[in-house]
Structure 1
């Protein structure tokens, strides 16, 4: 075991950060940030914070009351609801109407932003799962996003900025997909992003499919789609981080389709989140 495998010693002056979710067994942010804190000798620690959805208001009040809790990464199921409680939203959060990072100011105000879209696109271009020139990965592509939550909205907006042909958003409740599309269109994706009812989907028409739902977090979850409905060259993406190989990703691999796993969406936005929540500020230990 090396020094970088260890968490820096926690002291009375350690700054506290969290990863807000429910459940928390799938979160990766604490592992990533605690390694960074150790490598950079930052006196901070990030812990998983399990706040049930029905107790979100009380949970945030409790965190605000902590003198050394400064900010957090945010994931399922709180991205949409927590945005409502923020006193101020950054551009990414306004676009998605959802947050994946929040921080408290010195006077207790809660600020939120969202970097999921940037992380997903940057990860896709950086990892290049289809093995083509980077400028060809998204060019003229037709993409289906399953799910209409905060991450789906952020990803749709970022994809709409790329040279794609179209992004379709589908959701069990069509009105949610329509709301997501209206928001994205309002912010600049008006010619590329559409809502589609599940019964109207021609899966064979897509170059890329993205699972932006929680389906796959648990072993007994149903599949978000039938993998055999997709073209054999369709890129199958999941935004779930743990398990890294979800049933959808495994099914795609077993049938020879290219895949893009969820961990890259976080890996490619870690520094943006870290800077936003103030985690990288290296302050002297206070007595």
Structure 2
């Protein structure tokens, strides 16, 4: 990779940032596609995000930002525009800085997650699904799973009120779908999805009692470091199938590049319907 005065810069906003895998995949793909851009990790504490955002608006070499835990919901509030499902859910994981400094956000986590499942031979349609978590990433996964046609979605979150608030929002958006809240118990579920950071980077915890995982079920974890989390290791001991976090990311990389670089170069003509924020 050659970095010069025309290189478009993307920052990866996270806290912490040591576990990030996205820069490696993103930068390698830019080289493959001949795109003069580079992604660098920025470890930004939640209390510093607003000040950082003001700086991003003035950086003319900046193409945008990729956003991960714990900033996805807060980042959406800083955007001038939210497009597609990001506008419906108030969550963004990719933000483009337009030439005038305006920030446009989208959400690709859910799309990438479902695409990753299907690319690896698993169809979520018709599956009774347990989703662990109700934060920004889990919100994106929830909507995508409902759009993919899961038969029932049960949300288990340590903060029960937050879980119910997400369930209520999803019911409004998907009136024909079955959405409920429940315990972190995998009994009777075809698909179990960890949408939290539990198990990240040495954390020995599992977001669900391993003993409740059904043999033959599919267990997926969005955590990417380590590749084999305590949840996935435990799922294998129960005779379940597993799906690793990197697959969700890999399915999004080209979408990120297209939105940040190609769409901007084309004058943003490919924008989806957007919500103008107050």
Q: Distance in 2 between matches of 1:186 and 1:68?
A: 40
Q: Which residue of 2 aligns with 1:36?
A: 29
Offset, 1:161: 1.9
Contact 2:23 2:41 in 1 (8 A): yes
Offset, 1:202: 4.9
SS in 2 for 1:98: coil
Q: Which residue of 2 aligns with 1:237?
A: 220
Matched residues, number: 266
Is 1:218 aligned to 2:201, yes or no? yes
TM-score, scaled to structure 2: 0.89
The C-alpha deviation readout for 1:165-198, integer Å capped at 9, x for no partner, is 10011111111111211222222255222222x2
Q: 2:63 aligns with which of 70, 74, 77?
A: 70
Q: Distance in 1 between matches of 2:34 and 2:216?
A: 45
Q: Which residue of 2 aligns with 1:149?
A: 135
Q: Which residue of 2 aligns with 1:247?
A: 230
**Unaligned segments of structure 2, at least 5 residues:** 267-278
Is 1:175 aligned to 2:161, yes or no? yes
Instruction: Compute the RMSD of aligned alpha carbons.
Output: 1.9
Contact 2:214 2:238 in 1 (8 A): no
Q: 1:125 aligns with which of 115, 118, 121?
A: 118
1:248-263 mapped onto 2 (5 Å cutoff): 248-263=231-246
Offset, 1:41: 2.2
Q: Distance in 1 between matches of 2:126 and 2:32?
A: 41
Q: Which residue of 2 aligns with 1:265?
A: 248
Question: Which portions of structure 1, spanning 4 or more consecutive aligned residues, are displaced by more than 4 angstroms?
Answer: 279-283
Contact 1:184 1:190 in 2 (8 A): no
Contact 1:42 1:282 in 2 (8 A): no
Q: Which residue of 2 aligns with 1:110?
A: 103
TM-score, scaled to structure 1: 0.87
Contact 1:71 1:278 in 2 (8 A): no
Q: Which residue of 2 aligns with 1:79?
A: 72
Q: Which residue of 2 aligns with 1:16?
A: 9
Offset, 1:250: 1.4
Q: Distance in 2 between matches of 1:269 and 1:124?
A: 13
**Unaligned segments of structure 1, at least 5 residues:** 1-7, 130-136
Q: Distance in 2 between matches of 1:202 and 1:75?
A: 26
Q: Distance in 2 between matches of 1:227 and 1:86?
A: 39
Q: Which residue of 2 aligns with 1:134?
A: none
Q: Distance in 2 between matches of 1:153 and 1:279?
A: 27
SS in 1 for 2:200: coil
The C-alpha deviation readout for 1:55-105, integer Å capped at 9, x for no partner, is 110111122222201112111110011111111101121233211100111
Q: 1:194 aligns with which of 174, 177, 180?
A: 180
The C-alpha deviation readout for 1:228-247, integer Å capped at 9, x for no partner, is 11111221110112221111
Offset, 1:12: 2.1
Contact 2:19 2:201 in 1 (8 A): no
